[in-house]
Amino acid sequence: MPSFDIVSKLDSHEVSNAVDQANRELDKRFDFRGADASFELADGVVTLKADAEFRLKQMQEVLFQRLVARGIDIRCADVADPETNLSAARQKVTLKQGVDQPLGKKIIKLLKDAGLKVQAQIQGDQLRVNGKKRDDLQVAIAFLRKSEEIDMPLQYENFRD
């Protein structure tokens, strides 16, 4: 029985390269001269540090530009509210990976509502989709790629006949 897996993964090497490029751009920009601003990456969370809250928005734009340039979809970025005190501001951007339970249920519901002849089940942080024919699976992939209701970048792998 043909099947494929739906996953959502980030290339950690590309993420670290994008953060490094963003740090280098901050060093070069005139409006950040003398400002204590930096990006730090740890366990899929990018921490933006600056001396004022208004700089965080500019830094966020720089980070997103670098992520997009490196081929990382910014729909996986979850931006937290900024934390400020008198001398510094900090903001966390979490880069989500994996198909979590609510997203998995949403994808299964979309496939069922579309009337496609496939079955999907959640397996940890991925989804396994089975069908009787290879063509049904290809139609399901095309349908999910066109769907605008999914707010995470998805990859389709382990396509087996």
Structural Rg of the chain based on CA atoms: 20
- How far is Cα 50 from Cα 130, in angstroms, rounded to an integer? 49
Domain total of the chain: 2
State what percent of residues in the chain have pLDDT above 90: 31
What pairs with residue 128 in β-bridges?
5, 121
What CATH number is given to the structural domain containing 54?
3.30.70.990
What pLDDT shows up at residue 16?
93
Q: What's the pTM? A: 0.82
Beta strand pairing call for 118-123 and 89-95: unpaired
3-state helix, strand, coil in the chain (%, to 5): 40, 30, 30
Same domain, yes or no: 89 and 116 = no
Same domain, yes or no: 104 and 85 = no
pLDDT tens readout for residues 110-128: 888 888 888 889 888 889 9
Place of tokens 């069922």: 112
What pairs with residue 127 in β-bridges?
6, 122
Final residue before a domain boundary, out of 69, 95, 121: 95
What pLDDT shows up at residue 61?
93
Same domain, yes or no: 34 and 89 = yes
pLDDT tens readout for residues 16-72: 999 999 999 998 888 888 888 899 999 889 999 998 888 899 999 999 999 999 999
Same domain, yes or no: 151 and 107 = yes
Identify the domain containing residue 24 by its residue range: 12-95
Would you give the end-to-end CA distance of the chain in angstroms? 6
Place of tokens 């009787």: 132
What pLDDT shows up at residue 36?
86
What pLDDT shows up at residue 48?
93
The yes-or-no verdict on residue 160 having pLDDT over 90 is no
